[in-house]
Structure 1
Amino acid sequence: MTTTLNGASNNGAHISRKIAAGIYAPIPTFYQPVSEDLDLESFTSHIIRLARGGVRPLIAGSMGEGLHLTHSERITLIQAARAALDKEGFAGVPIIAGTGTGSTRETVELCKEAAVAGADAAIVITSGYFAGVLASNKAALKAYFTEVAEKSPIPVMIYNYPGASGGIDLDSDLITELATESPNLCGVKLTCGNVGKLTRIAATVSEQSFSQLYPRQNPDAPFLVLGGYADFIVPGACANGHGAITGLANVAPYTLVRLFALATAALADPSRLPEAQQLQGIVARADFTIAKAGIAGTKALLERLYGYGGAPRKPLPPFAPEALQTLWEHPHTQELVKVERELAGKA
């Protein structure tokens, strides 16, 4: 079997970086005021800030307003991220790029472009514009991910997000079938928030025999089962899940990485579980509060915390100053910020 090497360094050499369990952040795309041109300085600074905290980047996803980006802008972001990571000593940190679009053809095209630009894996959302046709057609949904995975030069992750795909919600049976039949699939992000679904999928793919019976096309890209929120990292770990891709990691990278480490440690040492549960409570409350603020609210919080953030691209509206003040003063936010500052100060 031929191994597909994913990713490229800033000198053009192809290397394979591990797509491993842990915490990933869907990176916001930052823009220049008025012109809405890409603000690459803020973008790369933010990626390096997260990398220092142990968080890996996902570029041009939902939080990154992938729908609002041109092909060339997505490529520019991937290239800028790879160059910044390599320059700052994070050459081993993988990049996942959002490549899902309306058609199978364009999605494959974007996967190929992302690979050339330096992405190590792609994440593909279900095409939702014609959800009325696709939602009840399991064969068509399966064919979509199967073809994209077969034709993509880099491993592909399934992105199950009913809220952004016309309500299409892939079930655990379909995802498990895809995992066993498509060796270039490297995982699933469950932004459906369904812990039962995570448990059912992980019960198959986390078995030791799975990697032997269904080896991946790229051995550095195993099939991971990742939550799309931060509020079930501990339950997910107990069910043999592999972490999360979560917007909250933009705001509190050290906290999320610490939580995943505690959740993993508790599997081997149950005495660590109370500490993990206590931190999970803080994170879950903050995730519930901050997630409701959406992209604009997250970017506004980053502006408050780190001095960059700005507004989303139109037609998404900016976050109102009074709403930001309310969000900032909320006890769930303040509790998280306190923990994050303590952990960052110890790092």
Structure 2
Amino acid sequence: MAGHTNGVNGVAGSRVLKPGIYAPIPTFFVPDTEDLDLESFAAHVVRLAKANVRPLIAGSMGEGIHLTHSERAVLIKTARKALDDAGLPDVPVIAGTGTGSTRETIELCHEAAAAGADYVIVITSGYFAGALTRDALKAYFVEVAEKSSLPVIVYNYPGASGGIDLDSDLITELAEQCPNLCGVKLTCGNVGKLTRICATVSEQSFVDLYPRKNPNAPFLVLGGFADFIVPSAFANGHGAIIGLANVAPYTCARLFELSAAALSDRAVLAEAQRLQGIVARGDFTIAKASISGTKFLLEKLYGYGGLPRKPLPPIKSEAAQALWEHQHVRDLVQIERELSGKL
């Protein structure tokens, strides 16, 4: 089946942005050369999509900061073709496009659209963090949203943005004033902030008063860690974008499904809480091993993963073995194998 074609501003033919679990897909590299390993990348995108986990390309886990403009475009095109060829043409592709300057960020947004992305996610520019006032930060996202040819997700990640942490008031203001914004990812891990934002944007009054430019792109509030998916659901959040979904896609998707179902059926809440505990412990342990640890686990589980791009170092062998043998990881792998039918 042929892939859809994005139209002006991503409206015509764009795929629907839905609540759920999204994974920042790692970028895999050929050993020695560090060229893109597109075969492993395509296989991984499809593997996760079949587990109901949607892809985010060239994000933090994808080492977007280590990629050239042309490599980003190749990855987007590869993901789109892989999904279409696998009979998954309705799965959207989100691309990371945030960079140092407003100008280059907008350029990357246009390039992502041309390559076949449906949405973009833009991290706060943090190199000159000390000079960026609240007004400057707001102006950055307003201009990017106005000029991007695709709907934009705000990416709040203080650890990769010079410590800049957008507050709930600013994010809510941006959501109200920028109809081309379609969500926020909170890798600050602040559940209170998520609750405050959802108290505005998850209400029907917000939908009525502040319609989106693209009707297929509602404003979603997404967590950036896997350890508060259940609390997020009960705060009227919309899921998460999480690196853990690369390692345990069926588990993370099931946890979201149970969390959403528990809102109307308390009989499934206990199972959602049990699964949340396994996921939270696994996420806490694996996140400390960063990108190299995730790639090591993918190598162990699926036969591909490899190394990050230099200067990011690989995980040390002792640390890798300890990670694999850690009880939190073993518990997560066990439940993933059960849910994926591997046992």
Compared CA separation, residues 121 and 13, structure 1 to 2 (3 A): closer
- Distance between the aligned counterparts of 2:298 and 2:220, measured in 1? 28
Deviations 1:243-297 (A, max 9, x none): 0000000000000000000000000011111110010000000000000000000
Specify the SS of the correspondent of 1:158. Answer: strand
| CA contact 2:156–2:188 (8 Å) conserved in 1 | yes
Aligned pairs for 1:119-198 within 5 A: 119-134=117-132, 137-198=133-194
Aligned pairs for 1:79-158 within 5 A: 79-134=77-132, 137-158=133-154
1:326 is aligned to 2:329: no
- Distance between the aligned counterparts of 1:200 and 1:346, measured in 2? 40
Aligned pairs for 1:209-224 within 5 A: 209-224=205-220
Specify the SS of the correspondent of 1:16. Answer: coil
- Distance between the aligned counterparts of 1:224 and 1:12, measured in 2? 23
Query: How far apart are residue 179 of structure 1 and its match?
Result: 0.2
Query: How far apart are residue 154 of structure 1 and its match?
Result: 0.5
Query: How far apart are residue 209 of structure 1 and its match?
Result: 1.2
Query: How far apart are residue 11 of structure 1 and its match?
Result: 7.2
- Distance between the aligned counterparts of 1:183 and 1:12, measured in 2? 22
Q: Pairwise CA RMSD of aligned residues?
A: 1.1
Letter in 2 for 1:79: K
1:262 is aligned to 2:229: no
Letter in 2 for 1:36: E
Aligned pairs for 1:1-347 within 5 A: 10=3, 12=5, 14=7, 15-134=13-132, 137-345=133-341
The farther-off stretch of 319-328 and 218-227 is 319-328
Specify the SS of the correspondent of 2:16. Answer: coil
Query: How far apart are residue 12 of structure 1 and its match?
Result: 5.0
Letter in 1 for 2:223: G
| CA contact 2:6–2:14 (8 Å) conserved in 1 | no
Query: How far apart are residue 25 of structure 1 and its match?
Result: 0.1
- Distance between the aligned counterparts of 1:232 and 1:225, measured in 2? 13
Structure 2 unmatched runs, 5+: 8-12
Structure 1 unmatched runs, 5+: 1-8
Counterpart of 2:10 in structure 1 is: none
Deviations 1:19-49 (A, max 9, x none): 1100000000000001000000000000000
- Distance between the aligned counterparts of 1:219 and 1:233, measured in 2? 25
Deviations 1:158-185 (A, max 9, x none): 0000000000000000000000000000
Letter in 2 for 1:167: G
TM-score, normalised relative to structure 1: 0.96
Deviations 1:90-140 (A, max 9, x none): 100000000000000000000000001000000000000000111xx1110
Give the paired residue count. Answer: 337
- Distance between the aligned counterparts of 1:209 and 1:82, measured in 2? 35
**After TM superposition, which residue ranges in structure 1, 4 or more long, deviate above 4 angstroms?**
9-14
